Amino acid sequence: MADLFGKLVVRSYAPRRRALLLGAAALLAVGILYAMFELGRYDAGFRVVDSVRGALSASARIRALEAENDNQRRQLEAAEVARRVDREGYKQVERSLGDMQSQIARLNQDLSFYRGLVQPDSLIHVKVQQMQIVPQSAAGQYHLKFVLMQVGKSEKEISGNTAVSLDGLQFGKPATLSFAEVSPTRRATLAYSFRYFQEYDEPIELPRGFEPTRVGVEIHSGRDTAHSVRQAFVWKAQGMSIETDANSSAAAKGGVDVQAETE
């Protein structure tokens, strides 16, 4: 019995301390592996500090670009609002200008009428009172609408003929087309016979490559070819052509030659 107690060995068992030692060894191994990993990156030229600085710099750049983008967006919105305001202003100016042109046209027509009433017998003649160019649906097709009126005392009926011509550019070069070249009926002149006025609505068709700039009208009274009235209207394919004050000068053998252009 005494021998048994003499051979007894007492051993202490601490599982918690063993677990702590194993955990510390594992952490140490992980630390060593990470240190080796960082050492490898360091040898390869990688710097953690530089990486962090680059990330911070990129973040700051992104914020600056976002702020600049917001600023430019606000400026674009302000520019769009200003453009809309300018466009509305231009529309109002165009409407006002159109009304003023219509008023000027009516006043010029009234002025020409009253001038004709007070002119003496020696200046009685026929002239275009108003000219309108109306575009049609087909390309190059228009209607010339104008009114011939006897200026002065209209005590009797008068007759004669009118020659219409178009000035412009044919493929970039100056050219003049007669009425026969643009009229579907190929008439050279338009006859008239009236006491007070006569209206015309003549279709025309422009040849390809011709860009009109002016409409010319030459009016002959009766069979007299030595005396005529000439007027010119700037081509305006919308609205009423506005006739300016005519510059009159005596033509050969006492005739009258009038040149009038619209704006």
**Residue 168 belongs to a domain:** yes
**Residue 129 belongs to a domain:** yes
d(C-alpha 144, C-alpha 192), whole Å: 16
Q: Residue 89 corresponds to which amino acid?
A: G
Place of tokens 């809309």: 84
- CATH code of the domain covering residue 255: 2.60.40.150
Q: What is the pTM of this model?
A: 0.46
* Beta strand residue intervals within 91-209, DSSP E: 125-135, 141-151, 158-170, 173-178, 190-194, 197-205
Interval 232-256: pLDDT, tens: 888 877 766 555 444 333 333 333 3
d(C-alpha 217, C-alpha 101), whole Å: 22
| Pair 189, 163: CB distance under 8 Å | yes
The arithmetic mean of pLDDT across residues 18-32, rounded, is 80
The arithmetic mean of pLDDT across residues 185-195, rounded, is 86
Burial of 243 (0-12, 13-18, 19+ CB in 10 A): buried
**Residue 218 belongs to a domain:** yes
SS3 68: helix
Burial of 147 (0-12, 13-18, 19+ CB in 10 A): middle
**Residue 174 belongs to a domain:** yes
**Residue 60 belongs to a domain:** no
Q: Which range of residues forms the domain containing residue 154?
A: 123-259
Higher pLDDT, 102 or 207: 207
Is the pLDDT at 122 greater than 70, yes or no? Answer: no
The total number of structural domains that make up the chain: 1
Interval 75-112: pLDDT, tens: 998 888 888 888 888 888 888 887 787 778 777 767 76
Q: What is the pLDDT of residue 188?
A: 86
Rounded to whole angstroms, what are the CA distances from 77 to 68, 70, 91, 239? Answer: 14, 11, 21, 37
**Residue 99 belongs to a domain:** no
d(C-alpha 175, C-alpha 196), whole Å: 34
**Residue 110 belongs to a domain:** no
Phi, psi of 185 (to 5 degrees): -85, -10
Is the pLDDT at 203 greater than 50, yes or no? Answer: yes
Dihedral of alpha carbons 244, 245, 251, 255, sign: positive
| Pair 122, 152: CB distance under 8 Å | no
The arithmetic mean of pLDDT across residues 105-134, rounded, is 67
| Pair 132, 241: CB distance under 8 Å | yes
d(C-alpha 102, C-alpha 105), whole Å: 5
**Residue 59 belongs to a domain:** no
Phi, psi of 249 (to 5 degrees): -150, 150
Kindly state the tokens that stand for 4: 């048994």
